[in-house]
Chains A and B, each alone.
Chain A
Amino acid sequence: MREENYLYFANAGGNDTDKDMAMFPASTFRGAVTMSSTTVEFFFAPQDGTGTTANGVLLTHADIASNTTSGTSPYADDKHYVVMEKFAQLASGNRKNTTNFTVIKDLNTIATGSTGAISSSGISEVTAVAITID
């Protein structure tokens, strides 16, 4: 069995409502698509086991129209690209000797005194999380 990496997403709801939070194995990631100038949706194999309609996590970020050109990257600070790149780094890094619990985004208040992965709020550019699981 290969080392799995588990990806954690949570909106700001305090984990007290259906789909406030979800965790997916990184191996179930199917791909990401830009949905608007301020959103990217990450799709995973469905948790219902049918393998058909994907589960989605819609991440909101700053409008790409407001990005500035840095001149150092063809993507400048394109938030679509930045969010996808950071997700890829978190989801597919070498997991040996690292935690296999990875916070992609947690918009809840981080508890005082938290350490390690529990203290992580994830990708800083993400401002909203919407989880779709049928």
Chain B
Amino acid sequence: MALRNESPSHGGETFVTLIRDADEKFCGPASNFLGLKCDGGGSMKLRFEDIDGTAAATVIDISCTDSVGTGVEMKRVCQAIAGAMSGHGVQGKYVKIADDLTDEFIHPNLLSVDAVA
């Protein structure tokens, strides 16, 4: 019998969640993260593989501090998000990146979740 090396789908996965309000929330595996980009001063778009079977990505808009003018706050938030999505050997992590309902954020320069679509 052939040996199968692959892991079960999302086994030992890190899950991340972002919450804007009672109606707009996202939770998904970090391995579905497609990337992020600057969308303007203090604004970023995170994209994850869509979860409804369509080709378009799930897009999450977030805001961060933009006071220094060098983009360092956005860079810090990117580092925090990268850290949140890493497994670091911990199985089954569930990490809240941002929650506007409870005012909890993974980094002080991350200010809000503006849209989940």
Contact = CB atoms under 8 A, between A and B. Distances in A.
Interface residues of B, number: 44
B34 A49 contact: yes
Contact of A18 (B10, B12, B31, B40): B40
B29 A1 contact: yes
Given A6-B78, A14-B70, 8 more contacts: A1-B87, A8-B78, A8-B79, A20-B71, A47-B35, A99-B83, A106-B75, A133-B37
A21 B56 contact: no
Interface of A: 1-4, 6, 8, 10, 13-25, 28, 44-51, 55, 99-101, 103, 106, 108-111, 114, 117-118, 131, 133
Nearest to B44: A21
A50 to B, nearest CB: 5
A4 B35 contact: no
A101 B79 contact: yes
A10 B83 CA distance: 19
A118 B76 contact: yes
A46 B70 CA distance: 26
A21 B83 contact: no
Contact of B78 (A13, A18, A101): A101
